Amino acid sequence: MCTRIVYTSENNKTITGRNMDWADWSKASVWVYPAGIERNGAIEDLPVNEQYSWTSLYKSVTTAAQDAATADGMNDQGLAANLLWLSTSEYPSATTPVQGSPISISVWAQYILDLCKDVHEAIEAMNQVYVITANYPGTTRTADCHLSVSDKKGNSAIFEYIDGVLNVSTNVKSNLNKDCILIDSFTQAQVRVMTNQPVFTEQIKLNYFWENVNEKVYLPGSSQSVDRFVRASFYTKNLIEGNIKEDEALAGVLSIMHNAAQPFVNNSADEEDPNTSITQYTTLSDQEKGVFYFAASRSPFVVWIDLNKISFSQNASENEMGLTLEFEENGTSIKGHPFASGNAIDYLIEKKTFSFLEASMESVSA
């Protein structure tokens, strides 16, 4: 359903790539937010004065789904966040011992991007909150996801709710609430790839097997989550070494994302097997340069946003205004600009930021 990789070169260029695989376009859009925006946890049955709230510390560029949730993005500190489907997720219930305040899954990635500059801070930020799921817009199906974060040093953390408990797999030493599980014994290389099912601690075991066979001959080739994980791990490990140039690094990561992508084929949007959904778009976060790349699968063009060159109107934060790229149906092009490619700063339009999809405390008490 989705694939995420992190590549760090010998000369410390870090790029995070992500494929969004889904049954439809999901009205994807690119949003750029200023620092200083006030947000809350988007819990529908809590009054405003009881909501967990914060003020964003950093600018961020993100992709949004259905103008209701942040799916992935990067902030101006070089921290990237990617929300991927994990159907076995189980979020806290009334019987789960949990500390912190509730936030909707729709705002989870944005919460991290707003407040954290690196993986260490992202892990410790989860001491303040816990996640509640919500129904995917227009359906009765809950949005069940795990979250990956990566910083410009190439560190990663993977956040998963298993049996109602937050599990964090990472290479970074941090402090986490006693009701959570922190597995910080991984190396940086071990946590650079994530797909969908199974949970990460089971995914990583696949590499232990494939490392003992001739990967160049026997790599698995299907679109299933486990096969994508093995291929992406192999190719990321073997990506060009040395003092690689920026354009080579970007092209190398994009080539791996293409290898893990699901083409547009008949019956590829299978509700019974969502992990083989078609790839709708690919994003690349150049975390050293602060440039975010977006490539819709139905478009031959790649566009990018350089966070360092973004400026906002006066009082944009106070007025909850952001900048957005809106796309034609299925992402065939930027609205009104059918052949737009490259630097997309001139195609951004100022717009009131959307309201994040609210979750209900009823899901906790159920």
Give how many domains the chain has, as a whole number: 1
pLDDT at position 95: 67
Q: How far is CA 189 from the centre of its chain?
A: 18
Q: Which of 2, 116, 145, 180 is catalytic?
A: 2
Top mean pLDDT of 13-17, 203-207, 212-216, 221-225 is at 13-17
Could you read off the pLDDT of 228-278 as tens digits, one per residue? 999 999 999 989 777 788 899 999 999 999 999 998 776 555 555 566 789
pLDDT at position 184: 96
Question: Quick one: tokens of 115?
Answer: 């407040």
**C-alpha span between 326 and 349 (Å, rounded):** 8
Residue 139 binned pLDDT confidence (cut-offs 50, 70, 90):
confident
Could you read off the pLDDT of 293-350 as tens digits, one per residue? 999 999 999 999 999 999 999 999 999 999 999 999 888 899 999 999 999 999 999 9
Catalytic annotation present for 116: no
User: Mean of the pLDDT values across residues 83-93?
Assistant: 94
CATH number where 196 lies: 3.60.60.10
For the chain, first and last CA: distance in Å? 28
Whether the CA torsion 312, 318, 114, 197 is positive or negative: it is: negative
pLDDT at position 20: 96
pLDDT exceeds cutoff 60 at 53: yes
pLDDT at position 353: 97
User: Mean of the pLDDT values across residues 10-28?
Assistant: 91
The residue segments making up the domain with residue 65 are 2-365
Question: Which distant-in-sequence residues (6+ apart) come within 8 Å of 180 by Cβ?
Answer: 126, 165, 166, 167, 168
pLDDT exceeds cutoff 60 at 165: yes
Task: Answer yes or no: pTM beyond 0.85.
Answer: yes
